Amino acid sequence: MITFKQLEAIYWIVELGSFESAAMKLNMSQSAISKRIQELEEAFDMPIFDRSKRSARLTEKGTELFEQASEILRQRDYLLERVSSKEVLVRRFRIGVTELTAMTWLPVLIEGIRSAYPKVVLEPSIELSTELVAKLESDQLDLIIVPDIFADARFVSTPLSSVENAWMCAPSLHQGNGIMDMQAISSYTVLTQGGGSGTGLIYERWLAQNDVRVNRTIKSNYLIAQLGLTLSGIGISYLPRQCLSPLVEQGRLQIIETEPALPPIHYIAVHRADRLQGLSVEVARLAAHCCDFSHMVL
């Protein structure tokens, strides 16, 4: 008879890439993991993993078994969600967010999830938008929170809040208080977010649409690095207006108003349409309720 424990063994070996990692995840010995796979191979009379490879690589039939095992485990989790109370539900939930969300309202979201689902094990991941989308696509994450730029029929999106950005610089770099024409931006070194950032992609397209050609740019994949370079007077940058208002009030940052102004960045919570959606839908609703980019927690 095939057991959930055997299916969990093959699932985690593939997900984590090795027998050793799966054994650590399931809190058991590597020999016990190997025994479960051996039992599966005997039950189906076929090899599941290619023993000629050093890594845990599935055979063709093993891949088919893994896909079915993954679906069975998802169905099991869904059943537990439906018939169990939130207080006794035990399940891991893999959530991915960008740096700005982590720096602002992620703690509030995590507190909300823990309050509603006390025994759910949260596995947060903080990465660039494109990396989060790729991991959602490959089923390595259950839900992500990213700028609304990745339209895909395979995903279900829940609108959240928006981020208002403004051009900012160190006061030593620009002293004017009037509205700057966007073409004047090209006379400065512009600090931008790289192509892996949803915000960076949106503003890169927006600048092109407004025929703004920036001569000197410095790209960074990290918001903190972008902020540090701006504070250092290296150049001007687009930064979140509300959560950085304390630095503006302290005189450490100067806002440059432009015509036209930067468009807001709309954020969404996204999960896969072909996966059982119970917990993902609930977490997306929680995110919509507590989403607030106005204050930094750092």
One-letter amino acid of 35: K
Q: Whose structure tokens read 């191979």?
A: 41
Token pair of 238 as six digits: 């687009």
Burial class (CB in 10 A: 0-12, 13-18, 19+), 82: exposed
Domains of the chain: 4-83 (1.10.10.10), 91-153+269-290 (3.40.190.10), 165-263 (3.40.190.10)
**Other C-beta atoms within 10 Å of 83: how many?**
8
Q: What is the pLDDT of residue 241?
A: 94
The model's pTM: 0.74
Q: Are 85 and 117 spatial neighbours (Cβ–Cβ below 8 Å)?
A: no
The per-residue pLDDT of the chain, averaged, comes to 87
**What does the alpha-carbon distance between residue 166 and residue 245 come to, in Å, rounded to a whole number?**
11
Does the pLDDT value for residue 292 go beyond 90? yes
Q: What is the pLDDT of residue 149?
A: 87
Q: What is the pLDDT of residue 82?
A: 65
Beta bridge partners of 91: 120
One-letter amino acid of 212: V
pLDDT in tens, 222-267: 899 999 999 999 999 999 999 999 999 999 999 998 888 899 999 9
**What does the alpha-carbon distance between residue 182 and residue 236 come to, in Å, rounded to a whole number?**
12
Does the pLDDT value for residue 177 go beyond 90? no
pLDDT in tens, 242-251: 999 999 999 9
> Does residue 286 or residue 44 have the better pLDDT?
286
Which SS3 state, helix, strand or coil, does residue 201 take?
A: helix
What would the mean pLDDT of 89-108 be, rounded to a whole number? 89
Q: What is the pLDDT of residue 53?
A: 67
Sequence-ordered list of residues with C-beta below 8 angstroms from that of 48, at least 6 positions apart, any chain = 10, 37, 40, 41, 58, 59, 61, 62, 65
Confidence class for position 282, pLDDT limits 50, 70, 90: confident
Q: Are 150 and 129 spatial neighbours (Cβ–Cβ below 8 Å)?
A: yes
